[in-house]
């Protein structure tokens, strides 16, 4: 595992965007696994800026997102499909047909998950998967559990995740209680995995994920078993790990 520790969120975003842009430049038809949440916003802004300067071309890039809320679609500002259009897809020259997310409007969990699993199989493995990390160590929407769920599945969100994600919803608006998410096998298939974390409230999750035991109670801990993981964390998010390992030189 390669670990970069940056001074702040802006530097974390630039470093992670650099890694993604290198991937696109080296292999323009890369399959990128993408993530949502507040952490990747700065990464997408940076990629859009470089696209604007003519340094990046998304015309052949294919994307697959990690997850989507069950019940939300492109017209809901809180859906992940809306988020992806707002922060990336509508600002670069990616072909709409090359972007994929689970279908939150499909009411039938089994059908929705089967469809997304089949799509992932047909596209082949991700070249690079971007991941944020939840405060409880979740990745995508793989919540702490007694087992690692393998493929795309429907999850019942934990109270802590519902609470954490309330900030994206209007007061009084219900945060969905279910989501469709790539499972652990769908994530680990990626050739390369890029994890980003920022802020002190992620410090426990980062320590437990990368320096604690591998356990489904901390879903991100499974990443220790993948042989090409890059962690880009800012100082605050890495603050509880310095005693375990020195970061790689920048």
Indicate which residues carry an active-site annotation.
67, 136, 138, 143
Question: 65 pairs with which residues across the strands?
Answer: 34
**Tokens of residue 181, six digits:** 């998410």
> Minimum Å distance from CB 183 to ligand GLP?
13
Burial of 114 from C-beta contacts in 10 A (0-12 / 13-18 / 19+): middle
Question: Which residues neighbour 54 within 8 Å (Cβ) at sequence distance 6 or greater?
Answer: none
Whole-number Å distance between alpha carbons of 79 and 35: 12
> Minimum Å distance from CB 194 to ligand GLP?
12
> Minimum Å distance from CB 59 to ligand GLP?
26
Q: Quick check: 229 and 190 in contact, CB under 8 A?
A: no
> Minimum Å distance from CB 67 to ligand GLP?
5
Q: Compute CA distances 76 → 108, 156, 169, whole Å.
A: 19, 20, 10
Query: According to the binding rule CB under 6 A, does residue 104 interact with ligand GLP?
Result: no
Question: Among residues 38, 158, 160, 215, which is the contact residue for ligand GLP, using CB under 6 A?
Answer: 38
Q: Alpha helices of 27-167 — where are they, by DSSP H?
A: 41-52, 80-87, 109-123, 159-165
Segment interacting with ligand GLP (CB under 6 A) among 115-123, 132-140, 210-218, 234-242: 132-140
Question: Among residues 140, 176, 183, 219, which is the contact residue for ligand GLP, using CB under 6 A?
Answer: 140
Q: For residues 170 and 246, which CB has a smaller minimum distance to ligand GLP in the complex?
A: 170
Q: Quick check: 246 and 237 in contact, CB under 8 A?
A: no
Whole-number Å distance between alpha carbons of 34 and 58: 14
Query: According to the binding rule CB under 6 A, does residue 39 interact with ligand GLP?
Result: yes
Query: According to the binding rule CB under 6 A, does residue 30 interact with ligand GLP?
Result: no
**Per-residue x/- marks for ligand GLP, 51-90, CB under 6 A?**
---------------xx-----------------------
What does the DSSP 8-state code read for residue 131? E
**Per-residue x/- marks for ligand GLP, 151-170, CB under 6 A?**
----------x---x-----
Query: According to the binding rule CB under 6 A, does residue 13 interact with ligand GLP?
Result: no
* Interacting residues toward ligand GLP by CB under 6 A: 35-39, 66-67, 132-134, 140-141, 161, 165
């Amino acid at each position: 595992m390669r670990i970069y520790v940056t001074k702040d969120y802006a530097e974390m975003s630039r470093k992670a965007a650099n890694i993604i842009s290198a991937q696109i430049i080296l292999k323009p038809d890369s399959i990128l696994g993408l993530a949502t949440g507040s952490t990747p916003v700065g990464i997408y802004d940076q990629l859009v800026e470089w696209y604007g300067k003519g340094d990046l071309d998304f015309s052949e890039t294919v994307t697959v997102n990690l997850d989507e809320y069950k019940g939300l679609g492109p017209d809901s500002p809180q859906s992940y499909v809306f988020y992806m259009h707002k922060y990336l897809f509508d600002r670069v020259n990616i072909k709409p047909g090359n972007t994929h997310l689970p279908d939150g409007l499909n009411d039938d969990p089994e059908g929705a998950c089967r469809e997304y699993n089949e799509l992932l199989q047909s596209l082949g493995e991700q070249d690079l998967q971007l991941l944020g990390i939840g405060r409880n160590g979740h990745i995508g929407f793989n919540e702490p559990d007694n087992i690692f769920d393998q493929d795309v599945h429907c999850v019942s969100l934990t109270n802590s995740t519902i609470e954490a994600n309330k900030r994206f919803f209007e007061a009084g608006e219900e945060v969905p209680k279910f989501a469709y998410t790539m499972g652990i096998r769908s994530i680990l298939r990626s050739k390369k995995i890029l994890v980003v974390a920022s802020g002190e409230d992620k410090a426990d999750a980062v320590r437990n994920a990368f320096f604690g035991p591998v356990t489904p109670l901390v879903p991100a801990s499974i990443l220790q078993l993948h042989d090409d993981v890059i962690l880009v964390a800012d100082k605050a998010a890495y603050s509880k790990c310095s005693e375990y390992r020195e970061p790689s030189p920048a």
